[in-house]
Amino acid sequence: MDNEALQRWVERVSTEAFGLAFKHKATFNARLRTTGGRYFTKSHHIEINPHQLASFGVEETEKIIKHELCHYHLHLQGRGYQHRDQEFKELLSQVGGSRYCQSLPGTATERRRLPYRYMLICKACGQQYKRKRKTDPRKYACGRCRGKLLLKELDSAE
C-alpha cells in the first residue's frame, strides 16, 4: 500500500466513523518504532507506521487510524484531544479505535516483556531478586540484610 491509498483510506474512515471530512495529509512513516501513528497539531497531518499494517493487518491499522482521527477532529473542534482528556477517551470508545497499538517484534517495548531469566538470591536471608539480564552478584548486596548474593539462571519463564 502506498501513501495515496492510505490517504483515501483515512478519508473513508473519517467520513464513515466520524461523519466528518479529513482535509489534510496522511502518510506512512517507516521510521516510527514504538508507536502506531501520530498526529501533528501544527500541520494537522497524520503519520501511520507501515510496520503495524505488515505485522497485524488491516483491522488493527484501522483502529490506529481511528485513534489518530480522534486527535485530529477533537483538536480542530477546540475540544480535549489529548490522551488524558475525557472527551478523547469517549470518542475513541464510540468509534472503536485502539487506545494502544501492539508491540512490534524486536522493538524495545517487546524486549521489556521478556520473561525473567536470572535470579539473585541472598545467601543470608533468602531474599530473591528476579532479573532479565545477567548481573555480577559480587557488585551488589542484599537490600534487606546487606548479605552476599548468589546468581541462579532460571530454566523456564517464571
Catalytic residues: 68
116 closest CA partner among 76, 58, 156, 59: 156
The helix/strand/coil state of 26 is strand
| Ramachandran class of 76: left when φ > 0, alpha when ψ lies in -120 to 50, beta otherwise | alpha
Question: Could you give the CA distance from residue 67 to residue 90 in angstroms, rounded to a whole number?
Answer: 11
> What kind and span of H or E run contains 61?
helix 50-76
Cell representation of residue 70: 480522534
* CB-facing half-sphere around the CA of 49: CA atoms within 13 A: 21
Angle subtended at Cα 129 by Cα 124 and Cα 131, rounded to the nearest 5 degrees: 140
Single-letter residue type at 140: Y
